[in-house]
């Protein structure tokens, strides 16, 4: 190439880079200081491909130039795919397109060398590559992560399949075994899960009780209807074991890895089953369960402020404890990060309802509905609607609203474990529908119906953490009927250690 031709190519390269910078804001193919390659990195690729429509226009313009000026040049299949199908490829890609570049592979080179050297057979190229691939699968745990994500989505059957597949890849995988046991408990396969759990305890006995084993033990005890005192004690041991490994650590990658916010949120969710489901009208800041939940959530919110579920959970704890101002602050932070987060709108509506601000309550409720119409299939939506109507003395409409809530699948009768249910059907919301319906029936003079609703609730929630709430409501009804002896008999059935007893006795 002659000096003039080299100069022409250099000028064209400079012009192309300049246009990239001016039109897309990208600095491409520039050497970085310290010999760290060029500026054409994964981040640059992500930014370049973040707008598929803009990329499509660019491809069409490039294709036109090609056919107008250089159609004699053979078009390779790769270039054809990019120009013709680039937009569809970007939209269909599971990962951001920039994450598929060569940087992650290069970053793993040192691990690949060690695996080939120490953990792969040298008998043949095929055996060596097979060992390398399986080892990488073991390191990345894709099946375990798939199982975990499916469990968080309440798709327990598919989650169990993923964990079982992971167990076939590595029979010594503790994470896979933990996932299998948790799925079996959630699927109510308690006898098989108990055997697996006992086996798990045996093989882990040398290192003592881990947070995972303790959590599974608490979950098993709850599913088997054990006393709340025993379940809560095991959960306390779980919390202590989990936080003990964080002591002395500074904020670092290791700290965030060991903090495991998702696991802590699972513990909080279980604790809240034994806590009051709504404010009592006075401060409950000293409630031991609510206080414990707050202590767990505080470090999560401070160290992972972008985790919306943690912000929401803390807002819910503060709302039930009676600290509505703090709860509003947390909910505002939720909505600043994601204005479409429906649960935040619903909880805000509950706060406004408690403060007798009915217009703001309805506005929050409608905001939640506008972002997700499935809210109408949520029992909490109907509970709030019924309470607003009840406050306005529109008892007949409130009754119709709660009858509609009772007919939502999974409310009157608990859905089978792992089955898909409508939006936000929780045991707490289910028992609230029963109790609100019974109270409305009583106010409308439908004493027989109210008694039957309470009896149905006793049968449905017997042996669950919600049983205490139904028993206390039954005692309240007895007092309102003037049957003090019956109320005292019901109160005596409540064990001293059962949650909420002290606050309700007052």
Tell whether 176 is covered by a domain: yes
pLDDT for 503: 44
Last residue of a domain, one of 100, 130, 152: 100
Task: Looking at the structure, tell me whether residues 493 and 469 fall in a common domain.
Answer: yes
pLDDT for 84: 86
CA distance 163 to 176: 5
Q: Which residues contact 394 (CB under 8 A, 6 or more apart)?
A: none
Tell whether 347 is covered by a domain: no
Nearest to 93 by CA among 127, 50, 132: 50
| Residue 302 CB burial class (10 angstroms; 0-12, 13-18, ≥19) | exposed
pLDDT for 316: 93
Task: Looking at the structure, tell me whether residues 153 and 123 fall in a common domain.
Answer: no
pTM above 0.75, yes or no: no
Task: Looking at the structure, tell me whether residues 75 and 126 fall in a common domain.
Answer: no
Task: Looking at the structure, tell me whether residues 155 and 120 fall in a common domain.
Answer: no
Tell whether 254 is covered by a domain: no
Task: Looking at the structure, tell me whether residues 7 and 48 fall in a common domain.
Answer: yes
How many structural domains comprise the chain?
4
Tell whether 364 is covered by a domain: no
- Residue 496: domain span: 383-412+425-505
Task: Looking at the structure, tell me whether residues 390 and 445 fall in a common domain.
Answer: yes
Which H, E and C letters describe 391-445, residue by residue? HCCCHHHHHHHHHHHHCCCCCCCCCCCCCCCCCCCCHHHHHHHHHHHHHHHHHCC
Last residue of a domain, one of 69, 100, 131: 100
Tell whether 459 is covered by a domain: yes
Q: Which residues contact 330 (CB under 8 A, 6 or more apart)?
A: 301, 311, 312, 314, 315, 318
Tell whether 90 is covered by a domain: yes
Q: Which two tokens stand for residue 404?
A: 């509609």
Last residue of a domain, one of 46, 73, 100: 100
pLDDT in tens, the chain (506 residues): 788 888 888 898 888 888 878 877 778 787 776 656 677 776 777 777 777 888 888 888 888 888 888 777 777 888 888 888 888 887 776 555 555 555 556 666 777 787 778 778 777 777 777 777 777 665 546 778 788 888 887 888 999 998 888 888 777 778 888 899 999 998 888 888 888 888 888 877 766 778 989 999 999 999 888 888 899 999 999 999 999 988 888 877 788 878 888 899 999 999 998 888 778 666 677 889 999 999 999 989 988 888 889 999 999 999 999 899 999 999 999 988 888 888 899 899 989 988 888 889 988 888 888 887 777 878 888 888 898 888 888 899 999 999 998 888 888 887 665 455 555 677 778 888 899 999 898 888 888 888 899 888 888 888 777 788 888 888 888 888 888 887 888 787 776 555 444 444 44
CA distances from 125 to 112, 121, 131, 138, 455 (A): 15, 9, 10, 20, 70
Dihedral sign of CA atoms 504, 239, 202, 217 in order: positive
Task: Looking at the structure, tell me whether residues 61 and 155 fall in a common domain.
Answer: no
Task: Looking at the structure, tell me whether residues 154 and 84 fall in a common domain.
Answer: no
3-class DSSP state for residue 31?
strand
CATH code at position 492: 1.25.40.10
CA distances from 275 to 195, 285, 324, 343, 504 (A): 30, 12, 17, 19, 12
CA distance 291 to 275: 10
Tell whether 168 is covered by a domain: yes
């Amino acid at each position: 190439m002659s000096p003039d031709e080299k100069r022409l190519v250099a000028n064209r390269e400079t012009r192309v880079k300049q246009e990239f910078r001016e039109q897309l804001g990208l600095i491409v193919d520039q050497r970085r200081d310290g010999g760290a390659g060029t500026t054409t990195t994964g981040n640059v690729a992500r930014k370049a491909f973040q707008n598929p429509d803009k990329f499509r226009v660019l491809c069409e313009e490039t294709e036109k130039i090609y056919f107008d000026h250089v159609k004699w040049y053979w078009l390779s299949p790769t270039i054809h795919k990019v120009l013709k199908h680039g937009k569809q490829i970007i939209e269909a890609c599971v990962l951001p397109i920039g994450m598929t570049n060569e940087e992650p592979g290069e970053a793993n080179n040192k691990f690949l060398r060690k695996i080939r050297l120490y953990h792969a057979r040298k008998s043949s190229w095929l055996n060596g590559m097979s060992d390398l691939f399986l080892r990488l699968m073991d390191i990345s745990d894709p099946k375990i992560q798939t199982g975990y994500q499916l469990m968080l989505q309440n798709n327990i059957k598919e989650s169990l399949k993923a964990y079982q597949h992971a167990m076939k890849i590595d029979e010594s995988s503790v994470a896979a075994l933990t996932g299998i046991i948790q799925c079996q408990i959630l699927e109510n396969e308690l006898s098989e899960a108990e055997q697996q759990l006992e086996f798990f305890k045996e093989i882990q006995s040398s290192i003592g009780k881990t947070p995972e084993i303790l959590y599974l033990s608490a979950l098993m005890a709850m599913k088997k209807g054990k006393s709340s005192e025993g379940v809560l004690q095991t959960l306390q041991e779980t919390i202590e074991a989990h936080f003990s490994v964080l002591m002395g650590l500074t904020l670092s990658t290791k700290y965030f890895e060991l903090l495991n916010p998702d696991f802590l949120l699972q513990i909080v969710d279980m604790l809240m089953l034994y806590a009051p489901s709504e404010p009592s009208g006075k401060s409950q800041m000293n409630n031991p369960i609510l206080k414990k939940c707050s202590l767990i959530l505080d470090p999560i919110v401070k160290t992972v402020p972008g985790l919306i579920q943690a912000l929401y959970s803390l807002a819910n704890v503060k709302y039930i404890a009676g600290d509505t101002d703090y709860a509003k602050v947390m909910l505002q932070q939720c909505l600043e990060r994601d204005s479409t987060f429906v649960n935040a709108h619903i909880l805000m509506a509950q706060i406004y309802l408690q403060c007798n601000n009915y217009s703001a309550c309805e506005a929050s409720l409608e905001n939640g509905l506008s972002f997700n119409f499935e809210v109408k299939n949520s029992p909490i939506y109907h509970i709030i609607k019924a309470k607003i109507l009840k406050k306005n003395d529109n008892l007949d409409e409130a009754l119709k609203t709660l009858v509609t809530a009772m007919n939502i699948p999974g409310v009157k009768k608990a859905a089978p474990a792992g089955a898909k249910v409508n939006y936000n059907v929780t045991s707490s919301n289910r028992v609230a529908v029963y109790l609100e319906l019974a109270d409305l029936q009583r106010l409308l003079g439908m004493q027989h119906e109210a008694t039957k609703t309470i009896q149905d609730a006793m049968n449905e929630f017997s042996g669950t953490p919600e049983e205490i709430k139904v028993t206390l409501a039954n005692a309240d009804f007895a007092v309102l009927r003037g049957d003090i002896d019956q109320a005292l008999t019901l109160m005596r059935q409540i064990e001293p250690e059962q949650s909420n007893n002290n606050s309700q006795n007052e």
